[in-house]
Structure 1
Amino acid sequence: MKVLIDMSSINSKNYLASVTSYIERLADSFYSKKRDYVEILVDKSQEARFKERYPNFNVHTIKRNYLLYRVPFTSDWYSQTTYKKTLSKINCDAVLIASDQDRGTIADIPQKKIVVIHDLKGIKTGNSATNKKNLAFYKKLAGQASAVVTISDFTKKDVQQHLNISNDKIQVIYNSVSLSEGSTKIDGLPSKYILYVNTLQPHKNIQTLIKAYSESRYKGEYKLVVVGKTTSFWNTEIIPLIRQHQLEENIVHLQNLSEAELNYVYENAALFVTPSLHEGFGYTPIEAAMCEVPVISSTCEALPDTTQGLLNYYEPADDEFALAKKIDFILDNPPSAESLNLIANKYKNDYSPEKQAEQFLALIKNLI
């Protein structure tokens, strides 16, 4: 039995993305258990990095001409041809595909496909033409798969509804969530702050958090720390919103943190808030809770499922007054250290990398 983990979507531009973290954490789990039946496929540009990271894995490469990826009408054909040619030379029984970034993955290949679908926001948040194109891609990829894995029960139901996949073909395997050991202090961090960690895109709904913070009785006493890479949405929509509410002195924006620095930011927060509108899983509220920080979450999509109803919730997600009220309540009535510790330990157990890897192993053995 040989299984190929497709890591070829990872490149220098997306190495901090959540899907990249998912793929690398899964590969790490198999590698730590010395699974000699696992091999990996990586982009040629990343070959040296992954050979250093996984010296005992057999590393295959796919070489792409990214200029051809940008040519309209031929990019899909080129990506599928390249993927099929590469996979035809690799002797393995199944391919684990955990990214939707390469349209080449819908190519016909000799191996069985195990496809991970994180969410279907690609058919919900774009324009009509983009949504239709993405829907066709997901339907074909899922239809070709011997098994479809979703990362939450919500995503499973979404896949069944939109992609017409039968229940017996889908299995829920929750993400693993783990934090690196140790933390590194960041100079200039406020002594008391509310924390947001996520991408700075419209569907993550930081705009509601900004408005809620402006309404909170704790504005000023607690700063708002925002961790996320600068985007055009941040520059064109959120910064003007911050200025409109005269919050320039109360909001601290951080980006490009190391894992140890992020740990420090989590550990010292008074409160963590995730106001997301679309979430297939939701890493960051679970990470914050693992650091024994009180967490407020919206109830959108997968969040109540993956957080197991253990956090503090508000709704609707875009109601800044409901969120401000919840922020004030939690800061007025902070949870006990004992209750935070119980939540942290439950998440660490339920979302351990070992548990995720064993579930994938059982699925793979059942297919091959």
Structure 2
Amino acid sequence: MSMILINGYFLCRRLTGIERYAYEITLRLDKIISSGEISIIIPSDFKNIPPYKNLTIIKYKKKIPHILWQMVTLQFFLLTHRQYTILEFGNTCLPLAPGIVFLHDIYCEFFPEDFVSFRDKVIRLYNRWQYRLIAKRAKKIGTVSYFSKNQIAQTYHITPERITVIYSSWNHFLSVKADYSVFDTYPVLLENEFYFSLGSLSKRKNIRWIIEYAVKNPDSYFAVSGTSLPTTQIENLDNNAGLKNILLLGYLDDAKVKALMEKCKAFILPSYYEGFGLTPVEALSCGAQVIVARAASLPEIFGNTAHYIDPFDTDVDLNVLLKEPVESPEEILKKYSYDEAAKQVYKLIKEVLR
């Protein structure tokens, strides 16, 4: 009898977008399945396992780099345990043991100019191979927006019926208590009305938009947090010496991020490519106004609850933009639920097992 095995390597990684999605849905899936119905495989030396009650935990080998775990360790396990069908949350498909795969977006197909260094080009090549492998071999494909579903179907010429849209959510923020000590560390944020942005130095996150806007509008203040961002002033970035109205905060935990979202003038996501766009949804749940790019999935996800900017044009007055009326986020917040997402994943699992 075939059984589902979740690739639990996401537990070994920092909880950013894809890992957060996998973590939260797996927690809720554990609550709605019967004991022993689904298994999760985790490196044997990983200690911080969530308190699963019904998922069967399989500890196997020690943690090794992600690509080796995928292509060697996990591949070998599945070839020697044929009863399992793998459930992958993170854009990866095993060539010899394909299963249910979540493909959140296919960014690497559309912006080759964003991949400049040799390392970046290798990453793009690997990701494009994985995208194609998923499209060709996955038993079922999950994704996080109809924008992504349509792009995947059209790009790889596959039937849309193979792809199921299961949205991400913000519910994890309900259990986060805001940590206002961040304002003790950065008192300048209490002295200025500030716009807040959360992301990384990945080109698609488009921090350049914020830099260019800040250059043109020295009276506007920006705080930017995220992975790969050093805790430093912006003058060390992109040769904009002397630019004092952007503060790079580096990585912050959810509690500090929530405090900043609660107190910011508005949350900004100028990204020109997103499969879903989780952080502005989190900001909406904190009561913040949000400004997002009119690009990719973002109009689908936010509808009339957000203010929109052109991700390639900084000739806009944000103060004027924020005066434009938007709809209450109440319906949007109801729409995106990890509990509902887990039910949809469970339904997808049962379809594959049948």
TM-score range, shorter chain: 0.7 to 0.9
State yes or no: 1:299 paired with 2:290: no
Question: CA RMSD of the aligned region, Å?
Answer: 3.0
Query: 2:204 corresponds to which residue?
Result: 203
Seen in structure 2, the aligned counterparts of structure 1 residues 81 and 129 have a Cα distance that, compared at 3 Å, is closer
1:247 CA drift (Å)? 2.5
Within the alignment, does 1:352 sit opposite 2:337 as a pair? yes
Structure 1 residue 3, shift from structure 2 partner: 2.4
Tell me the residue number matched to 2:252.
257
Question: Which secondary structure does the structure 1 equivalent of 2:204 belong to?
Answer: helix
Matched residue SS, 2:169: coil
The aligned residue for residue 28 of structure 2 is 29
Unaligned runs of 5+ in 2: none
Deviations along 1:182-221, one digit per CA (max 9) or x if unpaired, are: 21112234132111111222211111112113323xx43x
The equivalent of 2:95 in structure 1 is 107
Q: Which residue of 2 aligns with 1:72?
A: none
Counterpart check, 1:277 vs 2:272: yes
Distance in 2 (CA, whole Å) between partners of 1:68 and 1:281 is: 24
Match of 1:286 in 2: 281
Q: Residue 149 of structure 2 aligns with which residue?
A: 156
Q: 1:354 to 1:68 in 2, by over 3 A?
A: closer
Residue 241 and residue 264 in structure 1: after superposition, are their counterparts in 2 closer, same or farther (change >3 A)?
same
Name the counterpart of 2:107: 121
What SS is found at the alignment partner of 1:289? helix
Give the residue type in structure 1 aligned to 2:223. V
What TM-score results when the alignment is normalised by the length of structure 1?
0.81
Query: Is 1:174 aligned to residue 167 of structure 2?
Result: yes
1:86 matched to 2:40: no
What's the counterpart of residue 58 of structure 1? 56
Percent identical across equivalent pairs?
21
Between the aligned partners of 1:262 and 1:205, the Cα distance in structure 2 is: 19
1:97 to 81, 88, 94: 88
2:29–2:346 contact (8 Å) kept in structure 1: no
1:238–1:348 Cα change, 3 Å: farther
- Asked whether the 8 Å contact 2:234–2:240 carries over to 1, the reply is no
Given the superposition, is the C-alpha separation of residues 203 and 367 from structure 1 closer, same or farther in structure 2, using an over 3 Å criterion? Answer: same
> How many equivalent residue pairs?
336
After superposition, give the CA deviation of every residue in 1:158-192 in whole Å (9 maximum; x if it has no partner). 21122222112111111122214321112234132
Give, in whole Å, the separation in 1 of the partners of 2:156 and 2:144. 16
Q: Distance in 2 between matches of 1:193 and 1:273?
A: 11
Change over 3 Å in CA distance of 1:357–1:92 after alignment to 2: farther
State whether residues 39 and 57 of structure 1, in contact with CA within 8 Å, keep that contact through their aligned partners in structure 2.
yes
* Counterpart-to-counterpart distance in 2, 1:195 and 1:136: 35
Aligned to 1:165: 158
CA 1:130–1:269 in structure 2 vs 1: closer, same or farther (change >3 Å)? closer
- For structure 1, which runs of at least 5 residues remain unmatched after alignment? 70-74
Assess if the C-alpha contact under 8 Å between 2:95 and 2:133 holds in 1: no
Secondary structure of the residue aligned to 2:275 is coil
What is the rounded CA distance, in whole Å, between the counterparts of 1:169 and 1:67 in structure 2?
Answer: 30
Alpha-carbon spacing, 1:152–1:4, altered in 2? closer, same or farther (3 Å): same
TM-score normalised to structure 2 length: 0.84
* Cα offset, 1:329, TM superposition: 0.9
Distance apart, 1:116 and its partner CA: 0.4
Q: Distance in 1 between matches of 2:226 and 2:25?
A: 23
